[in-house]
Structure 1
C-alpha cells in the first residue's frame, strides 16, 4: 500500500516539474520575440482599444439601481399582468399595453399613490355643462391592464362620497394630483369609520408642488375612529394608520389570533403565485419604458411652466 502511494506521489511531482519547465520555455520564447516588451505593450494597447470600442457600441444595460422595474413597478403597477396563471394571456396583455400607451399619449395620467389627493374631471351626460369634477383622497388602487381602477373619497355636505374611476376610462378628461403623498397602509377603507375631518377636502383645493427630484413624502398621520358600530372589525386586523384602538378582551384576542396568519410570510410559493417574476417585469417595462419616460419628461416640462410666474412691469 505504501509503495503505491509513494509511486503516485513521485509521478505527480514529475508531472508538475515538467509543466513548470514548459511554462518557463514559453515565457522565454515570448520575451525573446519582443524588443524590450514593445510588442507586448502594443498588443495590450490594441486590446484596450478593442474593449473600448465594444463598450461604446454595446447597448446600455440597466443595472440594479437603474432598472425600469425598480421604480416603474410602483409608479405604473397597472402594466404588470394578473399573477394568476389561469388569467394569463400574452397576446391580450401586449394588446392592452399598446392601448394603454395610446391612451397615455392623449391624456396625462400622473404619478399617484394611495393617500394622494386627486381631482378628476370627467364627462357625464347628466351634468349641466356635461363635465363634472370630483376631489378626494385615494383610498384604494387595484386592478391591472385596462381594468385598473382607483377609489376617491370625500365628505361633501356631511355625507361621505366615494367614486370608483377606471384609470383608462375614455370619459376621463383630466387627472390632477393636488397633493402627492403616501400613507402607512395600502388601503384606507377605515376612513369610512373615521372622523370626517380626515376625509374632508375643499373642491377648490390648490395644487401643492413638490421640489423636482425629491422623494414622495409619507404622511404618518394616524386617524381616530368613531365609536362603534363600524362597517368592519378594524381592531381585529393590523393597520398602521389607526390610532387609539381600544384594548381587546381575551375573547377578542383569541378571535384575532384565528384571523392572523403569521406563517404566510414564510410561504415562498404563495409569494411566487401572487407576484410577477422580476425577469418578466424587466421585459414588460423595457417594452414601454422609453415612451413612459418621454411622457414623464413632457409632464415635468408642463409642470415647470405652471410654476413659473411671468414678471409684470411696474410703472
Structure 2
C-alpha cells in the first residue's frame, strides 16, 4: 500500500549523513562534468589528474542526494544481478515520474492516484515536511508530516511505487538531524506547511540551506524520552527542565553509566568498524555512479526547466 499512517518511529536507516555536510546542488556537481567535456571538444588529448579527481569526488556526493541507489551494506542481502536490475528499473521510473532532489527537512508536495479521491481524475495531493527517509533500491521510502486543523498527520510513501505520480519540492533545505520524529512533541508551527505554498527555487549553483533552528519541545507527556537523546543522537531540539524529580536524575545517571545504553550511544561515533560495516566501499560507489549518473543528470536538467516554467509568474496588463 502506497500511503499508510505512521504510528511509531521507523527503525530502518540508509546512508543519510547529508545533513552534516554542506553539499552543493546538482548544478554545481555537473560543473566538473561539463568542464571535462569542453576540454575534450577544444582538442585537448589529456586531462589533468586534478580534473579527474574533481569529477570523481563530485559524483561521490550523489550518495547524499540519491542514497537509494546504493545497495544495502549487509553482505547476506547483496546480489549483484538484482541490484543492477533494480537500478535500471529505478532509472526508468524516474524518466516517467518527477522525483527531484530532497532531504530530511525539505517541504514536499506528493501527488498519488487514489480511487477513493473526490477529484475527477482520482488523484490525491498531500503537502508536508519530510521527517524521515530510508530504504534501498526499489524499497526506498520517505515520511511527510503536516498539521491540519490542529491534528498532526503523517504519511509514508514508497518512492518507486507505480501509484506515485509526482514529487514536488516546495522548499529545499536540510535538517541537522537524521530524522525529525521529535516534531510530534514540538509546537505545531514547526510542522505546518500550507497547502497553497508556492515553490521556492534556489539560484543556480547555490548550496542547499541547512535548517539549524533549535526547536523547543512541548511540556510532557511525550511520545519518547527525548531528554535521553539531547546532544547524543539529536541536536535540533531543546527541553526545559528535563529532570523534574530526584528519581529522574538517578535514572539518567544510571542511563549514562559505563556500559549502559546511554554510554554506548555516546561512544558509537568512535566505532570505526561499525561505520565500515554500514558503508559501501568508495570503489564500488564509483562504479554505480558511473552507471547511473548520466541519466540522473539529464533527468535533473529536464525537471529544473519544468520547475522554472511553473514558478514563472506572467505579468498582467494594467488597463
After TM superposition, the score normalised by the length of structure 2 is 0.76
Could you list the runs of 5+ residues in structure 1 that have no partner in the other structure? Answer: 1-51
Partner of 1:282: 286
What is the CA–CA distance in structure 2 between the aligned matches of 1:199 and 1:124, rounded to whole Å? 24
What is the CA–CA distance in structure 2 between the aligned matches of 1:250 and 1:286, rounded to whole Å? 54
2:180 aligned residue (183, 188, 200):
188
Partner of 1:241: 236
1:55 aligned residue (19, 43, 46):
46
SS in structure 2 opposite 1:133?
strand
What is the CA–CA distance in structure 1 between the aligned matches of 2:159 and 2:242, rounded to whole Å? 40
Report matched runs for 1:1-315 at 5 Å. 54-55=45-46, 62-64=52-54, 66-129=56-119, 130-237=122-229, 238=232, 239-248=234-243, 249-257=249-257, 258-260=260-262, 261=264, 262-311=266-315
Per-residue deviation at 1:279? Answer: 0.6
What is the CA–CA distance in structure 2 between the aligned matches of 1:247 and 1:227, rounded to whole Å? 9
CA deviations over 1:195-223 (Å, ceiling 9, x no partner): 11211222111111211111000111122
Larger Rg: 1
Per-residue deviation at 1:180? Answer: 0.5
Partner of 2:11: none
Question: What root-mean-square deviation, in Å, do the aligned CA atoms of Structure 1 and Structure 2 show?
Answer: 2.3
CA deviations over 1:4-30 (Å, ceiling 9, x no partner): xxxxxxxxxxxxxxxxxxxxxxxxxxx
Per-residue deviation at 1:54? Answer: 5.0
SS in structure 2 opposite 1:227?
coil
**C-alpha spacing 1:256/1:65, structure 2 compared with 1 (3 Å):** farther
CA deviations over 1:47-97 (Å, ceiling 9, x no partner): xxxxx97527x9997414653543211110000000011100100000000
**C-alpha spacing 1:59/1:251, structure 2 compared with 1 (3 Å):** closer
Partner of 2:246: none
Bigger relative contact order, structure 1 or 2, given CA contacts below 8 A and separation 6+? 2
Number of corresponding residues = 263
Higher helix share: 1
SS in structure 2 opposite 1:215?
coil
Per-residue deviation at 1:128? Answer: 1.1
**C-alpha spacing 1:263/1:125, structure 2 compared with 1 (3 Å):** same
Per-residue deviation at 1:225? Answer: 1.3
